[in-house]
Amino acid sequence: MHRCLELAELGKGFVSPNPMVGAVIVHNGLIIGEGYHHKYGEAHAEVNAVNQVIAKFNNSVELLKESTIYVSLEPCAHYGKTPPCSDLIIKHRIPKVVVGCRDPFDQVNGKGIEKLEAAGIEVITGVLEEECKWLNRRFFTRIQKHRPYIILKWAQTIDGFFAPENGSQHWITGTESRKLVHQWRSEEDAVLVGKNTAMIDNPQLNVRNANGKSPKRVVIDRKLELSKNLNLFDQSVETFVFNEITTDVDGKIKYIALEDFERYVPQYILFQLYLQDIQSVIIEGGAFTLNKFIEAGLWDEARIFTGENNLNKGIVAPQISGNTSVEFSVGSDKFRIFYNS
Ligand code: AOF
Ligand code: ZN
């Protein structure tokens, strides 16, 4: 199952909004086939693993009848973009299936396991269950909470200030940290900022200092005050502008009007992103926007850099406490991830 998890992770950044899944086929204690879900819309992990065995052994399916297939997520039971993996396992008469965790998706959710058992296959479930769920925490959040997985990110000074009052926060963290932030962006479906950050920092919100795809952009601009010349309106990726005036499309820029900005903005935005199949969002500021999500309890991780300097004044950084966290260093920057439990 550890190997399944390693394989699954190779799909990171390519399979969303599908889960990352890995599969391993074992015969007499030896791995004879491996597979993972490579890309959204393409073959599932089990299909790739089975095909590898067939290709390796001169188109023979005989060994499958004496093998065990390990898979990090319950084999699917439905016709989606591909036929059901549970049917494939039954067809090849693989006698034993070891499952990491159940697939919470409505059309599967236990039905894959039931199908296998009904066909007389031995099924063992819950092997490295927590690790398997954790790997797909974005997928689980979307399916179970009907919202994207939310990562908050900001940089602050040792004395807890957010940014110099008159400008960019970039001076707070070093080069290494900036690389890491770009890698983080590449791992999520969307990046969100508030109006002030868009205006003052004029961020590009893309991936430049790391490999990987740029996320979709989301900006909150209640009264549509932002200039169209800002970097985030360069039409290079799909960009959502939440406002209270218009729902309209201008190339890749999608304006979405929301009601009740005073009260429910985080909830409404998250639901709209969910409807767009956006499975995760990294919120990069500013303080006002971050605090709105924190006040609503709508966050899953907070990734906070603390630089080497004191500022003595400025915008007070958001406060997060009472949750589990891990700390480590990046260059000379101290860095902590809080998990909302
Ligand atoms: C598996 N193995 O490797 C994956 C599964 O549209 P489709 O056909 O790609 O189906 C997508 C759904 O299938 C997805 O929401 C999730 O429930 C399951 N993903 N299942 O047996 C896999 N990626
Ligand atoms: Zn499947």
DSSP 54-107: HHHTTT--GGGGG-EEEEEE----S-SSS--HHHHHHHTT--EEEEEE---STT
Please compute the mean of the pLDDT values over residues 263-278 and round it to a whole number: 94
* Ligand 1 atom closest to 75 (CA): 21
Instruction: Confirm whether 1-141 and 146-339 share one CATH topology.
Output: no
- The pTM score is 0.92
pLDDT score of 172: 60
**146 annotated binding-site participant:** no
Ligand 1 centre and the CA of 304: distance in Å? 33
* Ligand 1 atom closest to 82 (CA): 8
pLDDT score of 210: 84
Binding site membership of 314 for ligand 1 (Cβ less than 6 Å): no
pLDDT at 127 over 60: yes
Tens of pLDDT, residue by residue over 65-106, are: 999 999 999 999 999 999 999 999 999 999 999 999 999 999
* Ligand 1 atom closest to 21 (CA): 3
Binding site membership of 20 for ligand 1 (Cβ less than 6 Å): no
Helix, strand, coil shares of the chain as percentages rounded to 5? 30, 25, 45
Please compute the mean of the pLDDT values over residues 270-288 and round it to a whole number: 95
Please compute the mean of the pLDDT values over residues 204-228 and round it to a whole number: 94
Please compute the mean of the pLDDT values over residues 131-150 and round it to a whole number: 97
Please compute the mean of the pLDDT values over residues 199-228 and round it to a whole number: 93
pLDDT grade, residue 315 (50/70/90)? confident
Q: Is 46 noted as a catalytic residue in this protein?
A: yes
Please compute the mean of the pLDDT values over residues 275-302 and round it to a whole number: 94
pLDDT at 50 over 90: yes
Q: Is the ipTM of this complex over 0.85?
A: yes
Neighbours of ion ligand 2 (CB under 5 A): 44, 76, 85
pLDDT at 24 over 70: yes
* Ligand 1 atom closest to 17 (CA): 15
Report the largest interatomic distance among the alpha carbons of the chain, rounded to a whole angstrom.
Answer: 72
Ligand located closest to 75 CA: 1
Check residue 11 and report its DSSP letter. T
Q: Report how far residue 169's alpha carbon sits from residue 157's, in angstroms, rounded to the nearest whole number.
A: 10
pLDDT grade, residue 248 (50/70/90)? very high
Q: Are strands 68-73 and 333-339 parallel, antiparallel or unpaired?
A: unpaired
Ligand 1 atom 4: residue of nearest CA: 44
Domain boundaries, the chain: 1-141, 146-339
- CATH number, domain 146-339: 3.40.430.10
Structure tokens given for 62: 């005989």
Please compute the mean of the pLDDT values over residues 212-224 and round it to a whole number: 95
Residues forming a β-bridge with 9? none
pLDDT score of 161: 86
pLDDT at 121 over 70: yes
Please list the alpha-helical segments (H only) found in the chain.
2-9, 45-56, 85-91, 111-118, 129-135, 137-145, 175-187, 195-201, 261-275, 287-295
Binding site membership of 86 for ligand 1 (Cβ less than 6 Å): no
Tens of pLDDT, residue by residue over 152-194, are: 999 888 888 886 655 554 556 677 878 888 999 999 999 999 9
pLDDT score of 322: 67
Domain 1-141 CATH assignment equals 3.40.140.10: yes
Q: What is the mean pLDDT of the chain?
A: 92
User: Among 5, 18, 102, which is best to mutate for testing ligand 1, by the most ligand atoms less than 8 A from CB?
Assistant: 18
Question: How many Cβ atoms from other residues are within 10 Å of residue 65's Cβ?
Answer: 11
Q: Report how far residue 304's alpha carbon sits from residue 335's, in angstroms, rounded to the nearest whole number.
A: 6
- Nearest CA among 89, 69, 52, 71 for reference residue 5: 71
DSSP element (H, E) containing 190 = strand 190-194
CA 323, 268, 140 angle in degrees (round to 5)? 50
User: Among 7, 76, 108, which is best to mutate for testing ligand 1, by the most ligand atoms less than 8 A from CB?
Assistant: 76
- Nearest CA among 3, 13, 12, 11 for reference residue 33: 3
Q: How far apart are the first and last CA of the chain?
A: 26
Using CA atoms, how far residue 311 sits from 23, 30, 124, 303, 327, in Å, is: 51, 59, 56, 20, 22
Binding site membership of 115 for ligand 1 (Cβ less than 6 Å): no
Check residue 161 and report its DSSP letter. B
